[in-house]
Chain A
Amino acid sequence: MHKYASPKFFYALAGQLTPWLGGLTAILLIVGIYLGLFIAPADYQQGESYRIMFVHVPAAWMSMFIYMMMAGAGAIALVWNIKLAEIFSSVCAPVGASFTFLALVTGSLWGKPMWGTWWAWDARLTSELILFFLYIGYMALQASIDDPRRAARATAILALVGVVNIPVIHFSVEWWNTLHQPASVSKIGTPSIHPSMLAPLLLMIFAFSVYFFTVALIRMRNEILERERHTSWVAQVLESKT
Chain B
Amino acid sequence: MNWTQFFAMGGYGFYVWSSYGLAAVILILNLYLPLHRRKTVRRLLREFVRLKRSSQPGSE
Binding site for B on A (CB under 8 A): 29, 33, 37-38, 42, 47-49, 51-52, 55-56, 59, 94-95, 98-99, 101-102, 105-106, 109-110, 112-113, 211, 214-215, 218-219, 221-222, 225-226, 229, 234-235, 238
Contacts and interface: CB of A to CB of B under 8 A. Distances in A.
Given A106-B22, A226-B45, A235-B49, A112 B38 contact: no
Given A98-B29, A113-B15, A238-B49, A55 B41 contact: no
Interface string B42-57: 1001101100000000
B40 to A, nearest CB: 9
A59 B19 CA distance: 11
A110 B49 contact: no
B45 A52 contact: no
A144 B15 CA distance: 37
B37 to A, nearest CB: 5
B12 A47 contact: yes
Interface pairs A-B: 3 shortest CB-CB: A48-B10, A49-B12, A48-B9
Nearest to A219: B34
Chain B residues touching A, majority SS: helix
Interface string B19-34: 1101100110111001
Contact of A51 (B16, B26, B27): B16
Interface residues of B, number: 28
B45 A109 contact: no
B4 to A, nearest CB: 13
A55 B23 contact: yes
Contact of A102 (B16, B23, B45): B23
17 contacts: A37-B6, A42-B10, A48-B10, A49-B15, A49-B16, A51-B16, A99-B26, A106-B22, A109-B18, A110-B19, A211-B27, A218-B31, A221-B38, A225-B41, A234-B45, A238-B42, A238-B49
B49 A218 contact: no
Contacts of B10: 42, 47-49
Given A221-B38, A238-B49, A98 B19 contact: no
A49 B9 contact: yes
